[in-house]
Amino acid sequence: MKSQYRVVVIGGGVVGASVLYHLARYGWTDVVMLERRRLASGSSWHAAGGIHALNADPNMAALQAYTIDLLSEIERESGQNIGLHMTGGLTLAGTPERWEWLQANYRIFQSIGIDDCELISPEEAQRRCPIMSTDGVLGAMWADREGYIDTTGTVQAYATAAKKRGAEYYEGVKVESLTQTADGWEVVTDKGTITCEHVVNAAGLWAKQVGRMAGVELPVSPLKHHYLVTDTVPEVAAADFEMPMTVDLEGFTYMRQDQKGVLVGIYEIDHEHWAMDGAPWDYTEELFQEQLDRIENELTLGFARYPSIENVGIKTWVNGAFTFSPDGNPLVGPVPGKRGYWSACAVMAGFLQGGGVGKTLAEWMIHGEPEADAWSMDVARYGDYAQNKRYIRETTGQFYSRRFVMTYPNEQLPAGRPLKMAPAHDAMTAAGCKWGVSWDLEVPLYFAPQGFEETPTLKRSNAHEIVAEECKAIREGAALLDITGFSRFEVSGPNAESWLDQIMASKLPAPGRAKLAPMLSETGRLKGDLTVLNWGDGTWWIMGSYYLRAWHMRWFQDHMQDGVIIRDLGEQMAGFAVIGPKSQSVVEKLAEQDISTLKFMQCGNFDIANLRTKVARMSVTGEKGYEINCRMGDHIQLRRLLLEAGAGEGIREVGFNAMLSTRIEKSFGIWSAEFTQDRTPAMTGMDRWIDWSKEFVGKEAALKERDGNGPAQVQVTLEIDAADADASGYEPIWADGNRVGFVTSGAYGHYTDKSLAMALVDRDKSAPGTEVSVHVVGVERPARIVAPSPYDPQGKAMRA
């Protein structure tokens, strides 16, 4: 073991070994992996080893597909047998809603290029898995690339393949402390001290402690997980093929063959945490005593699903710990504020996702960004609020217990909530506000009559007509929207303007003006769809998506220059937007200055009654609107003043559901839907805001795209002949029997009375009038491409 490396990977499980392998594969061979005991001695050795394609998150499904394809390659390269059994797999649906969900996800898989799946009948499912009862099964999805592997052998294969490419790994080396230095990190182990440029925390059950060594509090916790292995099952022994990997979503179980018996795993509703501050350092290959009282209900369902095992003995019980994040996805990437410290933690499905995690992190470290959009597992998707122990306990427990429970797109889950609330929260709740959550903040969805409860559904909600009335207020009258849930960064200092001019691809606004500003990575891909405001006094604001606060701040800090001060105002500022054709009448009753002088995309300091505020004339709804930003402590008073001033105009409080409906009527894209970090300005139409005359981050790559053949797919707007459901995202788009694109987001346009969507489609199918079809909740619907902005295409309303 040397005293200096470029990268030190801490943890010798499947994730650490995959990171090591991918770093070496992509050319960084001065890398080492340190394992305190022996390879696979954490959670890896007792994992069930199942591999399957299904994931409700399309990005995670693609990650899993990559890992599955990689496994046989790793086996060949390493020469290590990984015990790969590609049996195929079944996912069962036992309720009408689940069957709809499965049909919808089958189509989403097609959109992301997973083509080896098919929907089958209960009878066909039983033919493929004859030990299974189909009682209550309405249908199933079959996937060719599912099965299981030998877990210890797989970890060894990753590590061996990495070593063959020039990487190193050492067992029996315990990391005891980390110290950040000017050039990187000092890693103190019980075998000596190593200096390095980068440290990767792939410590699994010990991720919490390894994070704390660097002053990082990761939102992770281990939970216990049960599975059993049976003795020989006669029907299995007699079969001339292996039983497929089978997931019974309504039964909370998964099953695979194990020699001549089967393995049945359980995601029990009655979850149990363990060692929330991290596993003890002396914890070895240990298991917990099985807790039959805690899994009784799920176990009963499992034996009913597989009656062949009812009279067979149980050979082995496994009750072991795995580490989870609040949403169940991994925590991957550079940790904000800790240059050179990388997270590769909370990969609870390590053998299924580990290959993709290793690829993502290695690309990120070497090239500055991963090939695919990594947001769904980016460590920066959480902020300081997620360090709270109760929050971690509630959210990780909720995820675990709901692992196989169906979650609807309009369903609001309670764990870890509420945390942060805008000051007017209680008054808005009394007015009927129904709340969602963005990052740590409660945000308004819509305002409903007393006693109203929204029904979870894949289709149109029973709040549909409520949102329609709010959209009407936006389009015809005056509406009040709490905009505390927008991010606000203040930029100042002698070099503020020059820094902004470099980091933003657009021309900067003149004093007293605002401008939409795409932000690009060095490879010309999107890093933000932001709004820059120039207050005219040497200070600037950057406004964007609230839940991207830590993500954007990490980017800003990574590209920081001397003479620039940037502050996140998310804890200091709040606000309300007054929207609609009557909005000026409302605001001018309170403004001490002449508000009529504020034209579209202008901004300035205004006294609103007795409050000092910052006002911008803009709105994402496409209507005339005023975004009024105030101190957090003025939020209650600002709301009261605006409601009183707007009473004569019939002002109505609205939520973000109405904003999303009205924005799609204007073909306005949003982040995490139309705009993602694996797309380019030309794909999304953001290139129209680029100032090509100046230098900016990503210009060379953006010019190459502009002056080359252009993107293969471009953003369009669709009108869909939908019935009782609307597109939401990743649904495939078809033309002449060929898949030509996919939906990026969709909603019902209440004012245009049309089901609308935005999508990426092949350029030769992007002309308005092109007839296509779209699968909406699994049902193919006629659709057509329409010109952008179905509502007010000339933009007269917002400029009035």
pLDDT in tens, 206-250: 999 999 999 999 999 999 999 999 999 999 999 999 999 999 999
Q: Give the domain range for residue 272.
A: 4-367
Whether residue 543 is contained in a domain is answered as: no
> In degrees rounded to 5, what are phi and psi of residue 444?
-75, 135
Residue 690: what pLDDT?
98
**How buried is residue 453: exposed, middle or buried, by Cβ count under 10 Å (0-12/13-18/19+)?**
exposed
How does residue 60 score in pLDDT terms, banded at 50, 70 and 90?
A: confident
Asked if pLDDT for residue 57 goes beyond 90, the answer is no
How many C-beta atoms lie closer than 10 Å to residue 781's C-beta?
19
Structure tokens that stand for 364 in this block: 């990120």
- Cβ contacts of residue 350 below 8 Å, gap of 6+? 13, 14, 15, 43, 44, 47, 204
DSSP label of 146 = -
Q: List the beta strands (DSSP E) in 121-272.
A: 139-143, 147-148, 168-171, 175-180, 185-189, 192-201, 221-230, 245-248, 253-258, 261-266
Domain CATH number, residue 316: 3.50.50.60
| Contact yes or no for 517/531 (Cβ under 8 A) | yes
Distance CA 489, CA 629 (A): 13
| Contact yes or no for 199/13 (Cβ under 8 A) | no
Summarize pLDDT for 261-280 with one digit per residue, the tens.
Answer: 999 999 999 999 999 999 99
How does residue 113 score in pLDDT terms, banded at 50, 70 and 90?
A: confident
Asked if pLDDT for residue 382 goes beyond 90, the answer is yes
Q: 606 pairs with which residues across the strands?
A: 613
> How many residues would you count in the chain?
800
Q: How far is CA 369 from CA 199, 240, 285, 365, in A?
A: 17, 47, 36, 7
Q: Spell out the SS3 assignment of 548-562.
A: HHHHHHHHHHHCCCC
Whether residue 283 is contained in a domain is answered as: yes
Distance CA 527, CA 794 (A): 28
Distance CA 628, CA 605 (A): 10
Q: What is the pTM of this model?
A: 0.96
Whether residue 459 is contained in a domain is answered as: no
Q: What is the dihedral of CA 486, 487, 492, 498, to 10 degrees?
A: -100
Distance CA 671, CA 739 (A): 24
Residue 294: what pLDDT?
95
Distance CA 370, CA 641 (A): 48
Residue 53: what pLDDT?
73
Residue 154: what pLDDT?
97
Nearest CA-CA partner of 441 in 424, 462, 464 = 424
Whether residue 481 is contained in a domain is answered as: no
Residue 749: what pLDDT?
98
How many C-beta atoms lie closer than 10 Å to residue 233's C-beta?
22
Whether residue 125 is contained in a domain is answered as: yes
Report angle CA 469, 471, 473 to the nearest 5 degrees.
75
Whether residue 114 is contained in a domain is answered as: yes
Nearest CA-CA partner of 728 in 498, 461, 495 = 461
Nearest CA-CA partner of 555 in 572, 575, 530, 537 = 530
Asked if pLDDT for residue 54 goes beyond 80, the answer is no
Asked if pLDDT for residue 680 goes beyond 90, the answer is yes
**How buried is residue 209: exposed, middle or buried, by Cβ count under 10 Å (0-12/13-18/19+)?**
middle
DSSP label of 582 = T
Q: Average model confidence (pLDDT) for the chain?
A: 97
| Contact yes or no for 45/377 (Cβ under 8 A) | no
- In one-letter notation, the amino acid at residue 114 is I
Whether residue 509 is contained in a domain is answered as: no
CA 114 to chain centre: 19
Summarize pLDDT for 460-518 with one digit per residue, the tens.
Answer: 999 999 999 999 999 999 999 999 999 999 999 999 999 999 999 999 999 999 999 99
Summarize pLDDT for 307-322 with one digit per residue, the tens.
Answer: 999 999 999 999 999 9
Residue 59: what pLDDT?
83
Q: What is the dihedral of CA 130, 133, 137, 140, to 10 degrees?
A: -20
How does residue 605 score in pLDDT terms, banded at 50, 70 and 90?
A: very high
Whether residue 677 is contained in a domain is answered as: no
| Contact yes or no for 302/335 (Cβ under 8 A) | no
Residue 214: what pLDDT?
98
Rg of the chain in Å (alpha carbons): 27
| Contact yes or no for 17/159 (Cβ under 8 A) | yes
Summarize pLDDT for 140-154 with one digit per residue, the tens.
Answer: 999 999 999 999 999
Q: Spell out the SS3 assignment of 411-425.
A: CCCCCCCCCECCCCH
User: What angle, rounded to 10 degrees, do the helices at 350-367 and 58-78 form?
Assistant: 90
Number of domains in the chain: 1
Distance CA 800, CA 790 (A): 18
